[in-house]
Amino acid sequence: GDSVTQMEGPVTLSEEAFLTINCTYTATGYPSLFWYVQYPGEGLQLLLKATKADDKGSNKGFEATYRKETTSFHLEKGSVQVSDSAVYFCALSLIYNQGGKLIFGQGTELSVKP
């Protein structure tokens, strides 16, 4: 079945370090791909998205490229800040699958130290 696998956390970085969170997916069809972020005690916020192969989603310095050949959508940021500390979820959606539900990875907790 359709699924998302992302690297396990927690990930701990120093401020201004480079961030990569790996995400790979399995899907029958052509999914849309998303990264969501969850700050402590809050709901999920859409961080970025991509809808087709080679699309690059970007927002707030974060980027991810839809790689169909490797079925991946890795999240990157060149210089993290303390305020980026949160849990990051990779997700896919297939419009014909249960009303376009989101299928999530298990989440990766990021902690950025000053």
List residues near other proteins by CB under 8 A. 4, 32, 34, 36, 42-46, 49-51, 89, 93, 95, 98-102, 104-107
Smallest separation, CB 102 to other proteins (Å): 6
Q: Which CB, 81 or 106, lies closer to other proteins? A: 106
**Cα separation of the two ends of the chain:** 41
Q: Which CB, 78 or 100, lies closer to other proteins? A: 100
Smallest separation, CB 18 to other proteins (Å): 25
| CA gap 9, 94 in Å, rounded | 26
Q: Which CB, 17 or 111, lies closer to other proteins? A: 111
Q: Which CB, 50 or 80, lies closer to other proteins? A: 50
Rg (CA), the chain: 14
| CA gap 5, 91 in Å, rounded | 9
Handedness of CA 102, 3, 110, 80 (dihedral sign): negative
Smallest separation, CB 82 to other proteins (Å): 23
Residue of 94, 75, 73, 65 whose CA lies nearest to 1: 94
Smallest separation, CB 90 to other proteins (Å): 9
